Amino acid sequence: MQRSFKVILEKNESGSFTVTVPSLPGCVTQGNNRQEALEHVQEAIEGHLEALNLIGEPIPKRDVEFAEVRVIL
């Protein structure tokens, strides 16, 4: 079975990236650059799903929706 997960990439002051997976609470990783962060998050998602399976928890079916909101400063 194949499934896609939306991730949030946040660039840190040092230039590295932190990546979170909103539909999998607690699934967070990082990388020195964007590509490395995306590789790490794929591994983190796979590990997270494996852990859910081992403890008998279902894989969340919900997904997140992103929207952009503009404000006047």
- Give the tens place of pLDDT for each residue, 23-70: 999 999 999 999 999 999 999 999 999 999 999 999 988 788 888 999
Domain boundaries, the chain: 1-73
Contact in structure between 40 and 27 (CB atoms under 8 Å): no
The pLDDT assigned to 38 comes to 97
- Per-residue pLDDT band at 2 (split at 50, 70, 90): confident
pLDDT at residue number 51: 97
pTM of the model: 0.85
Distance CA 60, CA 10 (A): 23
Reply yes or no on domain 1-73 having CATH 3.30.160.250. Answer: yes
Whole-number pLDDT of residue 33: 97
User: Which residues, other chains included, contact 51 with Cβ-Cβ below 8 Å and sequence gap of 6+?
Assistant: none
At 31 the pLDDT is 98
